[in-house]
Amino acid sequence: MKLILMLVCAGVCLVACASANYPVSPTMTPTPEPTRIPVLSTIALPTPRTQGPMSVEETMLKRRSIREFKDTPLTLAEIGQLLWAAQGITHPAGLRTAPSAGALYPLEVYAVTREATYRYDPHAHQLIVHARGDLRAPLYAVALMQDSILQAPLTIVITAVYARTSKKYGEERTPRYVALEVGHAAQNVLLQAVALNLGAVPIGAFLDDQVQQVLSLPRDHQPLYLIPVGHPR
């Protein structure tokens, strides 16, 4: 009996020693939690122009929804002008190109290009790199496969942080005020595109949650509008 106990103890010691001397199997290694892509860099945009060769009346006359685009990238000046039209700062007090209930500005604007997806910083008039790589194909897939998103060199994504407005106006009125505001901003983009001899189309048909996932948007940035912009084909 004593001999059996001695053999069992020896076996336990051998197993313990083996575990200490040999690495754990890779299959047992804990999977690290995914981390959100950090801000990689910023890109200063050219100063937006405040006068152009086309009147507001002419841009309204010529505005049409354009859904087919040439494979020609936009310049940094064109991208900056379009984003400024959506949410640019126009007053030392921080007032913007589009009106906002209570000047609370719930909108956040993103630019999806073949190089990267950027968030627009209106205060510095710059692009902040949100995610590198071309996300137009996956965005096209979750936007009901509308070809204009796949073709356009730029898709402007307008999102809203509802809490910025609801803290003053409450849950009942906030959806109305945000809907009005995104309409103002989108129309600015459409008219600005005409003034730049570009085409654009506002798109509201997409899968909200999946757009958020594809673009890795913060949970409180609710996508409301996709606006592909480019040179008309």
Domain CATH number, residue 199:
3.40.109.10
142 φψ region: left (φ > 0), alpha (ψ -120 to 50), beta (else):
alpha
Residues with Cβ within 8 Å of residue 116, at least 6 apart in sequence:
129, 130, 131, 132, 133
pLDDT higher than 50, residue 232: yes
Examine residue 86 and state whether it is found in any structural domain, yes or no.
Answer: yes
Examine residue 16 and state whether it is found in any structural domain, yes or no.
Answer: no
pLDDT value of residue 40:
55
Q: Give the whole-angstrom CA distance, residue 74 versus residue 199.
A: 12
Question: Coil, strand or helix: which one is 204?
Answer: coil
Examine residue 34 and state whether it is found in any structural domain, yes or no.
Answer: no
Examine residue 201 and state whether it is found in any structural domain, yes or no.
Answer: yes
Examine residue 20 and state whether it is found in any structural domain, yes or no.
Answer: no
Q: Give the whole-angstrom CA distance, residue 73 versus residue 199.
A: 13
- Compute CA distances 224 → 8, 182, 183, 208, whole Å: 69, 8, 10, 8
pLDDT tens-place string over residues 83-119: 999 999 999 999 999 999 999 999 999 999 999 999 9
Residue 112 near residue 127, CB atoms below 8 Å: no
Domain housing 115: 54-230
Model confidence at 24, pLDDT cuts 50, 70, 90, reads very low
Domain count along the chain: 1
144 φψ region: left (φ > 0), alpha (ψ -120 to 50), beta (else):
left
pLDDT higher than 60, residue 18: no
Strand partners, 230: 199
pLDDT tens-place string over residues 200-212: 999 999 999 999 9
- Higher per-residue pLDDT: 230 or 21: 230
Question: Coil, strand or helix: which one is 153?
Answer: coil
Of 78, 55, 46, 53, nearest in space to 152 by CA: 78
